């Protein structure tokens, strides 16, 4: 393993051991709340659409909104400063502190101030900063960086914090429970707020029209920091601007649901500073609050720090719609296992962090963790503003690829005639050309399989391409699905079907999991469909996963060329592998002409979705194999597309008793589980799934998984064999149970 891969593996291993359990417990808890809360409303998607539209419009009109905010804040009696970068913002903020002779500052949690590292700048001018958000306070005591956008100390358990506080503060009675710790921190931090010379907050939103900042908290610390001292500095990225309070409702409804599964945050403070509330001077305890706010001072620091460039960047612009709820992190299987200290950069963590880090700190910061996004797309549904986070991560990966160089390029150059420039990491190039590899492997099977398994080859593959030798490789079949179909006698009913379909054979189905392809053909034919099989061309999913967009674009065009004639003939396209359907429905619009992409997306179906449609339209279910107890793992991209329901509906209709897994992702995620630096994380994620299927009353069930990767992960972690749903329901007469 290369030194870089070993370093990454070691870091992930360490975090799995030290922080993984606490992060998993906390994200699980928050996700349960999110699903529960969202289930109470049926207009979540409508609200998401509204929120998205407001952000699109606001970012479009950003220069105008900045000027409107300046006018309204100044009319209120405050100041606005637009800071070009971190240094500029810190210079302005420290000058305010110095002009006030400030010795102490109470700060509410704000990722934007983390981004500019304002605490260090303030310490340099002798200002003592106290973090007042209790999670952030824990980190300040521990001298650590946040590991989550919303729960900065997500990675620490109650016991960890008790140990930290007892060692640091040496209280008379050792602190033990969450209640003890909260009480202690509240009292300690509360005193600091009452003594503070300056209060500093972020802003979740800034309403340009009235110069109002919106602060969303549960603790109330932001309110105290904003209204207690006479001087308030709010620091916000320019992207936080929205036109007015009229646009606030969808965000009020969405942000706490997405962040923590609450209907609404405990405090949504809409403050138009300098506020009318009287200054509370605890040094003059018996002076009545005099009803005057004349001595209040307010500064709004709007931070650019790369955001204007992001706005001009067609691929990164969406990042600016982010409302920092952290739902992308919580819904991410990898994040759930290692947290933001692995899945994050200099400041931002989780799925959207790649966009933020690329924009505000540059590609190097984003590159450190970008590969932890497997493109499973579970965050797409979780995002309250409908940001296509996996696409942003793909784009950044592509840009990172173009900046790298490698000495082993010659090894895969001949094997992998892709469209991406030389310099793409050899591991990525290998996995990004899986179709070509599979074709070669199949043509030379079984020698290729034997060679691939041979110890010295595994060592070489691990050293050169980072393919972990602990992972079983796919066994290529000599007879491909396409060959099998072409060598068949056409059915007597060919040409007479009620419907006509073309099966799209992905590389896995064509060269490796050929049985599921055959089962798909038999099932469709049994239901009265005239089936043909298209040529096997890689869909582009594999190179997309590696950030090789040029290659994916070339693949997409080839697939569209091969399927267009069938579409012209009115055939439906049936897809076995859910990730390829996701490519057709979600990514092709970015890779192909709009008309072409739309036609393919509109006429493509996941195989079980298609079976469901056939049964609904009167096809005879009795020809299929019915009944049985099933443990079913859907596929992450299939769930994002809401296609998983059809498999379950077909099972239900055919009398199967089904237990469905509820983890976000199997952890294998295409090539991810093969990569030596990620192998252990992949297995750790997979074990969460395996645990569900090893439970009593589930472990005897037939194991079924929709995705090729999920199938591989399950077979590596469990003793049972696993099949695709279509293999289960395919006509009984020809069905041969697979053994391992």
Partner 1 sequence: MRTDTTDRFADSLEAADVSCTRVEAAEFADALAGVVEQPAVGVPLGIDGVSLDDTDVEIPPTPRLLREAETGVTRVHGIVSYGTFVIQGDEAGAEPVSLYPTTHVGVVRASDLHEDVEETASWLGEEFDAGRDSAVLATGASATADMGELVAGVHGPQRVHAVVVTDR
From the list 268, 440, 621, 718, which residue makes contact with partner 1 (rule: CB under 8 A)? 268
**145 binding partner 1? (CB under 8 A):** no
Closest Cα partner for 473 from 685, 717, 718, 671? 671
Q: Helices 607-616 and 644-653: crossing angle, nearest 10°?
A: 50
Kind plus residue range of the DSSP H or E element containing 363 = helix 363-370
In angstroms, rounded to a whole number, what is the distance separating the alpha carbons of residues 156 and 163? 11
Stretch that binds partner 1, among 288-296, 387-395, 519-527, 529-537 (CB under 8 A): 288-296
In the complex, least distance from residue 547 CB atom to partner 1, rounded to whole angstroms:
36
Site string for partner 1, 673-712 (x = CB under 8 A): ----------------------------------------
Closest Cα partner for 603 from 563, 557, 647, 558? 563
Kind plus residue range of the DSSP H or E element containing 73 = helix 62-76
Lookup result for tokens 């209120």: 76
Residues 301, 235 contacting (CB under 8 angstroms): yes
Q: Which is nearer to partner 1, 293 or 550 (CB)?
A: 293
**281 binding partner 1? (CB under 8 A):** yes
Number of Cβ atoms within 10 Å of the Cβ of 238:
22
From the list 104, 157, 457, 720, which residue makes contact with partner 1 (rule: CB under 8 A)? 157
Query: How much is the CA Rg of the chain, to the nearest whole Å?
Result: 28
**19 binding partner 1? (CB under 8 A):** no
**134 binding partner 1? (CB under 8 A):** yes
In the complex, least distance from residue 421 CB atom to partner 1, rounded to whole angstroms:
47
Q: How is residue 73 written in tokens?
A: 């804040």
In angstroms, rounded to a whole number, what is the distance separating the alpha carbons of residues 350 and 259? 13
Stretch that binds partner 1, among 113-121, 171-179, 474-482, 525-533 (CB under 8 A): 171-179
Count, residues near partner 1 per rule CB under 8 A:
68
Burial of 697 (0-12, 13-18, 19+ CB in 10 A): exposed
**323 binding partner 1? (CB under 8 A):** no
**271 binding partner 1? (CB under 8 A):** yes
Stretch that binds partner 1, among 217-225, 439-447, 660-668, 671-679 (CB under 8 A): 217-225
Q: Which is nearer to partner 1, 152 or 435 (CB)?
A: 152
Report residue 177 CA to chain centroid gap: 33
In the complex, least distance from residue 207 CB atom to partner 1, rounded to whole angstroms:
8
**456 binding partner 1? (CB under 8 A):** no
- What Å distances lie between residue 584 and 246, 524, 633, CA to CA? 38, 21, 22
From the list 28, 182, 645, 716, which residue makes contact with partner 1 (rule: CB under 8 A)? 182
From the list 32, 98, 168, 266, which residue makes contact with partner 1 (rule: CB under 8 A)? 266
Lookup result for tokens 């209709």: 653
**383 binding partner 1? (CB under 8 A):** no
In the complex, least distance from residue 98 CB atom to partner 1, rounded to whole angstroms:
26
In the complex, least distance from residue 189 CB atom to partner 1, rounded to whole angstroms:
7
Q: Which is nearer to partner 1, 92 or 267 (CB)?
A: 267
In the complex, least distance from residue 23 CB atom to partner 1, rounded to whole angstroms:
12
In angstroms, rounded to a whole number, what is the distance separating the alpha carbons of residues 91 and 93? 6
In angstroms, rounded to a whole number, what is the distance separating the alpha carbons of residues 385 and 381? 9
**330 binding partner 1? (CB under 8 A):** no
DSSP letter at 206 equals E
Most distant CA pair in the chain, distance: 98
**75 binding partner 1? (CB under 8 A):** no
**231 binding partner 1? (CB under 8 A):** no
Residues 165, 141 contacting (CB under 8 angstroms): yes
What are the residues binding partner 1 (CB under 8 A)?
76, 132-135, 138, 151, 153, 156-158, 161, 177-179, 181-182, 185-186, 189-190, 193-194, 210, 212, 218-221, 223-224, 227-228, 244-246, 248-249, 252-253, 260, 263-273, 275-278, 280-282, 284-289, 291-293
């Amino acid at each position: 393993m290369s030194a870089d891969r070993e370093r990454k593996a070691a870091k992930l291993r360490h975090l799995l051991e030290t922080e993984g359990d606490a992060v998993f417990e906390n994200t699980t808890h928050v996700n349960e709340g999110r699903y529960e809360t969202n289930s109470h409303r049926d207009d979540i998607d409508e609200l998401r659409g509204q929120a998205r539209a407001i952000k699109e419009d606001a970012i479009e009109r950003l220069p105008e909104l900045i000027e409107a905010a300046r006018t309204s804040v100044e009319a209120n009696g405050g100041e606005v400063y637009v800071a070009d970068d971190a240094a500029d913002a810190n210079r302005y903020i420290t000058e305010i502190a110095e002009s006030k002779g400030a010795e102490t500052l109470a700060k509410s949690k704000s990722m934007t101030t983390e981004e500019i590292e304002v605490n260090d700048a303030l310490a340099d001018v002798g200002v003592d900063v106290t973090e007042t958000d209790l999670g952030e306070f824990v980190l300040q005591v521990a001298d650590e960086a946040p590991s989550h956008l919303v729960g900065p100390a997500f990675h620490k358990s109650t016991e960890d914090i008790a140990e930290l506080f007892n060692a640091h503060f040496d209280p008379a009675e050792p602190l033990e429970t969450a209640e003890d710790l909260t009480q202690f921190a509240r009292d300690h931090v509360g005193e600091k707020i009452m003594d503070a010379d300056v209060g500093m907050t972020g802003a979740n939103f800034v309403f340009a029209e009235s110069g109002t900042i919106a602060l969303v908290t549960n603790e109330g610390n932001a309110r105290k920091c904003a209204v207690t001292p006479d001087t308030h500095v709010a620091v916000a990225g320019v992207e936080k601007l929205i036109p007015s309070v009229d646009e606030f409702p969808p965000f009020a409804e969405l942000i706490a649901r997405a962040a923590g599964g609450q209907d609404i945050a405990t405090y949504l403070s809409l403050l138009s500073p300098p506020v009318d509330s009287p200054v509370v001077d605890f040094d003059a305890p018996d002076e009545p609050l005099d009803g005057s706010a004349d001595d209040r001072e307010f500064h709004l620091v709007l931070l650019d720090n790369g955001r204007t460039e992001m706005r001009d960047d067609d691929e990164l612009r969406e990042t600016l719609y982010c409302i920092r709820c952290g739902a992308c992190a919580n819904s991410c299987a990898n994040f759930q296992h290692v947290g933001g200290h692995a899945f994050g950069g200099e400041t931002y963590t989780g799925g959207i962090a790649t966009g933020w880090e690329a924009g505000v700190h540059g590609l190097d910061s984003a590159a450190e963790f970008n590969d932890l996004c497997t493109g499973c797309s579970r965050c797409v549904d979780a995002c309250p503003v409908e940001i296509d986070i996996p696409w942003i991560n793909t784009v950044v990966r592509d840009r990172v690829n173009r900046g790298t160089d490698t000495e082993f390029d010659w090894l895969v150059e001949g094997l992998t005639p892709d469209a991406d420039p030389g310099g793409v990491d050899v591991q990525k190039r290998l996995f990004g050309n899986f179709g070509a590899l599979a074709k070669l492997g199949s043509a030379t099977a079984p020698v290729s399989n034997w060679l691939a398994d041979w110890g010295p080859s595994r060592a070489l593959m691990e050293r050169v391409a980072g393919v972990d030798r602990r992972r079983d490789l796919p066994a290529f079949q000599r007879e491909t699905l396409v060959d099998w179909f072409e060598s068949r006698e056409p059915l007597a009913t060919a040409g007479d079907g009620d419907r006509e379909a073309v099966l799209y054979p992905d590389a896995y189905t064509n060269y490796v999991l050929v049985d599921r392809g055959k089962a798909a053909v038999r099932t469709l034919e049994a239901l009265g469909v005239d089936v043909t099989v298209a040529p096997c061309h890689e869909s582009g999913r594999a190179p997309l996963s590696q950030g090789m967009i040029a290659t994916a674009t070339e693949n997409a065009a080839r697939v569209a060329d091969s399927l267009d004639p069938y579409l012209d003939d009115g055939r439906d396209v049936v897809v076995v592998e859910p990730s390829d359907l996701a490519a057709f429905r979600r990514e092709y619009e970015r890779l192909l002409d709009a008309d072409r992409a739309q036609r393919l997306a509109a006429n493509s179906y996941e195989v079980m979705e298609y079976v469901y449609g056939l049964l609904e339209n009167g096809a005879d279910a009795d020809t299929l194999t019915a009944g049985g107890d099933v443990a079913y793992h859907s596929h992450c991209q299939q769930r994002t597309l809401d296609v998983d329901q059809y498999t379950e509906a077909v099972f239900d209709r055919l009398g199967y008793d089904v237990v469905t897994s509820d983890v976000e992702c199997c952890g294998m995620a295409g090539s991810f589980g093969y990569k030596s630096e990620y192998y252990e994380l992949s297995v750790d994620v997979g074990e969460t799934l395996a645990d569900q299927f090893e439970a009593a009353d589930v472990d005897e069930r037939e194991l079924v998984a929709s995705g090729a990767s999920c199938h591989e992960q399950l077979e590596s972690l469990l003793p049972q064999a696993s099949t695709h749903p279509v293999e289960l329901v395919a006509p009984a007469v020809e069905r041969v149970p697979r053994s391992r």
